[in-house]
Each structure stands twice: as structure tokens, then as C-alpha cells.
Amino acid sequence: MTTNNTGFTAVGAKPDAPDPRSPLRRPSAIVLRAALTRIIRTGTLELCLPDRRVLHFGTGGPIVAIAIHDWQTVRRIAINPDLALGEAYMDGRLSVTHGDIYAFLDLCLSNIGLGSGHWVRRLQQRLHQLGRRFMMHNSVGRAQRNVAHHYDLSDDLYDLFLDPERQYSCAYFETPRDSLETAQIRKLDHIAAKLHLAPGQKVLDIGSGWGGLALSLARRADVEVIGVTLSAKQQHYAEARALREGLSDKVHFALRDYRHQRGQFDRIVSVGMFEHVGVAYYPEYFSRIAELLSGDGVALVHTIGSVTEPAAPHPWIRKYIFPGGYIPSLSEIMPAIERSGLIVADIEVLHLHYAETLKAWRLRFLANRDHVEALYDARFCRMWEFYLAACEASFRYGGLVVFQIQLTRKVGVLPMIRNDISEAGYGRAGWDSGEAGGDNIQELKCR
């Protein structure tokens, strides 16, 4: 650890040698200043360069201040901000001196919106798209390694910021007063209602995680559930929980790729797993669901999605958080469903629910930061803080949503209208809704 000539402490940074040139004659500083001038219009960003010169961008509030501690980091961020910004924060080469990392990302992404920012970033995105199929190569062996990278971390880590059901996916917020626990239970209820469960049915949970959904379905409707996961730690945790709750005769968890699953199931559910499939494997994924689903069966796929055109995986998220992961556009999903022979019965798009979920996770993570650092180290804490903050801001401004796609093999299996779901207690009140009651469809408007 070294202290450079700015007076800030940066991990791994080396003091810059004196440079007689104006820092704004450096090509990297010119590119970065041009990009930030174009991006920051509403709100103010103060940027302290390695020579302690401060640049101002935008006007009005909120005001966020950051410092970049060496010229090498300035150059990296100017060339490849999608990767270098997160790395700089992780390594302590970029620090937030007024506000926090979420405030900085919120400021940037709220100004960018659904656009792609500076022409340099647009060019980078085009180049990333050329190699995206290679980035998302998820053969059986690689898929298991990718899952282990994220989900086989310490159990204690996830206990520090998740709800007791260990739901590591989008919650369902009905009112601004909902706790994370309430919203996650409501999400489980919402999924169960869409599956139209009946006692004695056989259910397959693809990507069963720590078992919360599978156990919840078994308790609600006396169904038999098989959950498959590629995480050894998740499988062991879920099996132990089923035994503790007296449900091991109804719910079983297997360390198995969904492509190796056999049998017929009345219901199939997959929550938060489709993001790890990879575009090239979409036809195989939906074909397997079609083969495993009984003739009168119902399937529900719950996945993060994008309202924009297809893009490439985010390079920082792909490298450090979810290798092999990808957020699809609806236009990429539908052709694979159509070719599989499955019928789309319903699509619901959840706006801002995941932003609120991530906010709750981020605040809990920060409240337990000392415990996380004891498990890992300060760099890991900065990495995860950046991950949670960047994802939350992306769900607020970057066009990320959640798709819930209900599927059948034939017409007439499900009711013709959604009243059965709303009558189960969903959508009664919004964040800023109109009058309740009747058949009104109310819009969720998170602030």
C-alpha cells in the first residue's frame, strides 16, 4: 500500500513522477473529460486528478466527488470504463470523497439513461458484441465452474444480507412499507399462484439455490419437488434444511445439470437461473422444458431481462461476479420458445422491484461490512459494494427488468384471465397507485 502525491492512500498505486505537461494535454485526460462533459448534465461531479487539479461537470444537485489517484488509472478508465471503473474502485485507485459509490453510479447512470454515452463506449460495446457467444460458452463442465465461482462462497456471507428464506432473486414489493422479508414471501406466493399447484403434483425447480422456493411450494400445496443446482454448497444447505423442516420425503435436491434431468413433471419453475444459460443454449433450454413438462403442465421462467436491444455481457460483472452470465432481451428469448413447441400463456414485466431488492441487500451488506471483511478482505468488500450498487442503479436507469414467462404445452390449461392471481392477494396497492378495488390494474411506481 502506498500514498501518492495527492495525499490519498491507494492500494497498489505508485507515486506519479513529476510531469511538466498540463494534465489536460494527456490524451487519456482529454478523452475522460470529453466523456464526462457529455454524460453529466443534471447533478454535479467533481473529479480530482492525480495532480490534485479538480474538474467540475454538470450543475446543481446532487453533488458527488471522486478522486483518481494515478494517471495509469485515468488512462484505463478513459479507454475501457465498463471494466476499469470497477477495478479502480476495488483496488483503491479511485475513491469517493463526497457521497458513496452508489451515489456516483446513480449520478452517472441517471444521466446516461438508456443511451450508450460517449462514442468511445459505443464502439467498445460493438466490439464486445462480436465475441459475446464465446463469452457465454456454457457447456456442462464450464457451467458448473461458473456457478461455483459465485454461489459456493461462504454461507455466512449470504446470511449477512439475504432474507431468512435465502431468496437471491427479485422480491415482489407491493407497498413502500414492505420489508425485504415480506416482499420475498410475496414473490414466493406470486410464483405459486402462477403455477396453479394441486396436491400430489410433481414439480421440477431448475436452479433451486438454497431451497427456499422448493420448500415453500411443498408447504403450500403438498406437492413433490425435485430441485437441481450446480452449486455443491447450495445443494448441501437445501438438503439439510429439508431434513430440519420435516420435508425430506417431499423435497429432494440434486447436484445436477438440468440437461441431465429425466422424467415428467406437472410443473416446472426456474427462478434466477436463465441468466446463466447463454444465448447459444436457449433452444436446448426450452426444448428440455418441453420434454420434461407433462401435456397439461405449466412452467414459469423468472429471469432478469433488458428492455433494450441485445447487447454484450458487462465485462466487469462477467469477470468478477457472474462468469458466463448474460441478461437477455425478450427478442432473444421468444424465438427459442416458439421453436421448442411451448406456448406462451403470459408475460409479466416487473419494473423497479429488483432495484428495491438490491437496495435492501446493499444496505444490509454495508451494515455488516466489518463481518464481511473478517470473512474475506477489504478488496472483496469494495468489489461486492460496487456490484450491488451498479446493479441497483442499472435497474433504476439502464433498462433492466424482470420477465416472468408462463408456459404451457397446449391451450386451455390455464384460466382465461388473471383474476385468480389478483384474488390471491397480489397487486392490491401500488407505490403511487390510483384507487384500489374492482378490476383496476395498478402501476407500481417506486420512488
Q: Which amino acids are annotated catalytic?
A: 391
The CA distance from 188 to 266, in Å, is 18
Angle value at C-alpha 244, between 239 and 250, nearest 5 degrees: 60
Does residue 43 contact residue 111 with C-beta atoms inside 8 Å? Answer: yes
The CA distance from 11 to 2, in Å, is 7
Does residue 48 contact residue 66 with C-beta atoms inside 8 Å? Answer: yes
Q: Would you call 270 helix, strand, or coil by DSSP?
A: strand
Question: 199: number of CA atoms within 13 Å, CB side?
Answer: 1
3-state helix, strand, coil in the chain (%, to 5): 45, 20, 35
Q: How would you classify the pairing of strands 54-68 and 9-10?
A: unpaired
Helix axes 232-244, 212-221, angle to 10 degrees: 30
- CA distances to 231, 266, 268, 293, 427 from 286, in Å: 22, 16, 11, 10, 29
The CA distance from 165 to 167, in Å, is 5
CA 392 from chain center: how many Å?
Answer: 8
The CA distance from 159 to 62, in Å, is 33
Neighbour tally for 202: CB within 10 Å: 16
Question: 416: number of CA atoms within 13 Å, CB side?
Answer: 0
Residue positions counted in the chain: 447
Does residue 58 contact residue 45 with C-beta atoms inside 8 Å? Answer: yes
CA 182 from chain center: how many Å?
Answer: 20
Task: Please give the grid coordinates belonging to residue 119.
Answer: 462514442
**What DSSP assignment string belongs to 351-373?**
-SHHHHHHHHHHHHHHHTHHHHH
Instruction: Give the residue among 325, 346, 267, 300 at the shortest CA–CA distance from 187.
Output: 300
Strand partners, 350: 402
